Chains A and B, each alone.
Chain A
Amino acid sequence: EAGVAQSPRYKIIEKRQSVAFWCNPISGHATLYWYQQILGQGPKLLIQFQNNGVVDDSQLPKDRFSAERLKGVDSTLKIQPAKLEDSAVYLCASSRLSGTGGTGELFFGEGSRLTVL
């Protein structure tokens, strides 16, 4: 099966500009996650969707970050305006709904590396 697709792979912007990342999860995966991973650190959950509903967005900086999952399939993550500390890799992951088969493991995309100058 096709994996989790993310774009763009790399993005360089200046602070105060905006950026958007796109993710297409594995077909049939109900749960979609956006993680932020700063160099040398573990993944930090920004937002978790189940179908098109938000399960957890407690660590999403809502004054500048927004995310949506249209029709419960693909998703976009937007940052506006960007700050220097937003430089990180933004990882999208998807998983099956718990109890519908599989182990609930997360499948990650290759990530989108953002550099804010």
Chain B
Amino acid sequence: GQQVMQIPQYQHVQEGEDFTTYCNSSTTLSNIQWYKQRPGGHPVFLIQLVKSGEVKKQKRLTFQFGEAKKNSSLHITATQTTDVGTYFCAGRDAGNNRKLIWGLGTSLAVNP
């Protein structure tokens, strides 16, 4: 079946270090979304990427969508303690745009 693999599962960094999480889909995606879930909270939408090779930035966060629209990454520059949480990617299958396939998430811990 359709899968979205997300790595790493966990990442522990010192404040100020960079962080990257990667998503890889077994099928071509029409678009991919990224969400952040703080401990004890609910997922909150960060961004959606639609175009092949698209790169979007939000302050210290950089999101990329691969040329083949099968992979994506989220990079955080100079992490802060406020970045703590779990980051999920969720892709819409190109063959069935109504279906959103979630990665298992990357949990980020930041040491002050």
With an 8 A cutoff between CB atoms, is B42 at the interface?
A: yes
Given contacts A56-B98, A56-B99, contact A106 B48 (CB under 8 A): no
Given contacts A42-B102, A42-B103, A104-B48, contact A91 B97 (CB under 8 A): no
Identity of the chain A residue whose Cβ is nearest the Cβ of B42 in the assembled complex: A108
Cα distance, A45 to B44, chains bound together (Å): 16
**Interface residues of A, count at CB 8 A:** 22
**Are the CB atoms of B42 and A104 closer together than 8 Å?**
no
With an 8 A cutoff between CB atoms, is A14 at the interface?
A: no
**Are the CB atoms of A104 and B43 closer together than 8 Å?**
no
With an 8 A cutoff between CB atoms, is A65 at the interface?
A: no
Contacts of A75 in B (CB 8 A): none
Given contacts A41-B104, A42-B104, contact A106 B43 (CB under 8 A): yes
**Are the CB atoms of B88 and A105 closer together than 8 Å?**
no
Task: Give the bracket for the number of chain B residues in contact with chain A.
Answer: 20 to 34
Q: Main SS of chain B's interface residues?
A: strand
**Are the CB atoms of A42 and B105 closer together than 8 Å?**
yes
With an 8 A cutoff between CB atoms, is A50 at the interface?
A: yes
Instruction: Annotate A66-91 by CB proximity to B: 1 below 8 A, 0 otherwise.
Output: 00000000000000000000000001
**Are the CB atoms of A108 and B98 closer together than 8 Å?**
no
Cα distance, A93 to B92, chains bound together (Å): 16
Identity of the chain A residue whose Cβ is nearest the Cβ of B34 in the assembled complex: A105
With an 8 A cutoff between CB atoms, is B24 at the interface?
A: no
Identity of the chain A residue whose Cβ is nearest the Cβ of B43 in the assembled complex: A108
B: residues with CB less than 8 A from A are: 31, 33, 35, 42-45, 48, 86, 88, 90, 92, 97-100, 102-105
